[in-house]
Amino acid sequence: MALTLESVSYRYAGATRESLHDVSLELADGEVVGVVGASEAGKTTICLVASGLAPRSIGGTLKGRVLIDGIDTADKPMHELAAQVGISFQNPATQLSQVADTVFEEVAFGALNLGLARADVIRRVKEALAAIGITDLGERDPRHLSGGQMQLVAIAGLLAMRPRHLVLDEPVAQLDPEGRALVGDALKKLAAAGTGLLITEHDTDLLARLSSRVLVVDGGKLVESGATDEVLADPRLDDWGVEPPARVRLQRALLAAGLNSELPA
């Protein structure tokens, strides 16, 4: 059971060159995979392709295949795909419907669009709010929440559609430390409950905490992949425009100062 990109190359509509070249990756059910890379490296493009938005919603040209459980998604209608792979973007405010007056309604929005019975939607919304730990926000106006809370509402809305995989493009990029902690905790819970997560982030501390594997993308190509601890300690990260986690930076500083000590795990 997996979401798979098989030798995917992708060119945006009107662009002269490809933004992704021959990218292959697999996200197993319940697995958390991080994607890092400099600005313009191709992280968002991977998210758009993995979720099926590119090319079917935004156009462009795709080579290779995107598969769910080995079945090519090219032939699936978008609503079917959206129910299997949810995608969220970095700016939480732009993800809200702007028409819902309560968080409960907001979270129900996507599930209602799947054409489910009302009782089913209500049950799903309650579950999604609980899974993210924001049941107490249900009656609040989604437009008057903190950035971190808004991001949680957006993710809960995806969860209510019961996708097997979530693709999160820089979920904490625009959040303050409190928002980052809030979203990090919620994602940790989701992963523990078995939702597969593909997370792009500049915040490698978040990935160090959540993901089992990390992929590095540079110039539209996958240049490295492996266990999180190994990849995030790779000395080439700087060349790829990625800041290592605080722990790795501290370890390096200690080494440079001649304090050859190992940090306790």
Ligand X SMILES: Nc1ncnc2c1ncn2[C@@H]1O[C@H](COP(=O)(O)OP(=O)(O)OP(=O)(O)O)[C@@H](O)[C@H]1O
- Site residues, ligand X (CB under 6 A): 12, 15, 19, 37, 39-45
Around 176, how many Cα atoms within 13 Å sit in the side-chain half-sphere?
4
Q: Where are the alpha helices (DSSP H) in the chain?
A: 43-50, 53-56, 78-82, 103-113, 118-132, 147-159, 177-192, 204-210, 228-232, 246-256
DSSP 8-class letter at 99: -
Residue type, 263: L
C-alpha 167, offset from chain centre: 4
Q: Which does 37 bind (CB under 5 to 8 A by kind): Mg ion, ligand X, none?
A: ligand X
Query: 28 or 38, CB closer to ligand X?
Result: 38
Query: 45 or 84, CB closer to Mg ion?
Result: 45
Closest to 50 measured CA to CA, from 181, 166, 188, 202: 166
Q: Which does 51 bind (CB under 5 to 8 A by kind): Mg ion, ligand X, none?
A: none
Closest to 56 measured CA to CA, from 75, 71, 33: 75
Residues 55-74 that bind Mg ion (CB under 5 A): none
Q: How far is the CB of 169 from Mg ion (least distance, A)?
A: 6
Q: How far is the CB of 42 from Mg ion (least distance, A)?
A: 8
Q: Which does 15 bind (CB under 5 to 8 A by kind): Mg ion, ligand X, none?
A: ligand X
44 binds Mg ion (CB under 5 A): yes
Q: Which does 85 bind (CB under 5 to 8 A by kind): Mg ion, ligand X, none?
A: none
Query: 37 or 163, CB closer to ligand X?
Result: 37
C-alpha 21, offset from chain centre: 20
Q: How many residues does the chain have?
A: 265
Q: How far is the CB of 246 from ligand X (least distance, A)?
A: 20
Query: 3 or 41, CB closer to Mg ion?
Result: 41
Euclidean distance between CA atoms 185 and 100, whole angstroms: 26
Query: 4 or 45, CB closer to ligand X?
Result: 45
Q: Which does 163 bind (CB under 5 to 8 A by kind): Mg ion, ligand X, none?
A: none
Q: How far is the CB of 200 from ligand X (least distance, A)?
A: 7
CB atoms within 10 A of CB 206: 23
Q: Which does 40 bind (CB under 5 to 8 A by kind): ligand X, Mg ion, none?
A: ligand X
Closest to 50 measured CA to CA, from 191, 199, 174, 188: 199
Q: How far is the CB of 25 from Mg ion (least distance, A)?
A: 16
Residues in touch with Mg ion (CB under 5 A): 43-44
